[in-house]
C-alpha cells in the first residue's frame, strides 16, 4: 500500500557502519573485535524512505568495543 505513494522499506545488514541519518540505535552491545565497534550488529526493524528522504530510521543494535551502555 505504501509503495503506491513511493514509500519503500529498507533493511540494514549486520556489519554496516552505524549511520545516524539512517539508523536509530535501540541498544548497544559489547563486541570483542574492534572492527565491529560502531557497526550494526542486528536490525530490529526496517526503516522507510520516500525517494531520498528518510521517513523512519531503521532500529538497530550497535556494537561497542569495550563495555556496553
CATH says 2-65 is which class? mainly beta
pLDDT over 70 (residue 68): no
> Which strand (E) or helix (H) includes residue 60?
strand 58-65
pLDDT over 80 (residue 1): no
Spatial separation of the C-alpha atoms in residues 59 and 68, rounded to whole Å? 17
The confidence score (pLDDT) of residue 5 equals 86
Spatial separation of the C-alpha atoms in residues 25 and 28, rounded to whole Å? 7
For the stretch 22-31, pLDDT in tens is 999 999 999 9
pLDDT mean across residues, the chain = 93
Spatial separation of the C-alpha atoms in residues 25 and 23, rounded to whole Å? 6
DSSP 8-state class, residue 34: G
Using pLDDT thresholds of 50, 70 and 90, give the confidence band for residue 9: very high
| pTM assigned to the model | 0.85
Contacts of 49 (CB under 8 A, 6+ apart): 7, 8, 10, 55
Amino acid at each position: 500500500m505504501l509503495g503506491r505513494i513511493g514509500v519503500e522499506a529498507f533493511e540494514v545488514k549486520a556489519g554496516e557502519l552505524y549511520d545516524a541519518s539512517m539508523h536509530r540505535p535501540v541498544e548497544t552491545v559489547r563486541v570483542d573485535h574492534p572492527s565491529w565497534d560502531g557497526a550494526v550488529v542486528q536490525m530490529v526493524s526496517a526503516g522507510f524512505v520516500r525517494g531520498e528522504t528518510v521517513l523512519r530510521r531503521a532500529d538497530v543494535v550497535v556494537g561497542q568495543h569495550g563495555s556496553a551502555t
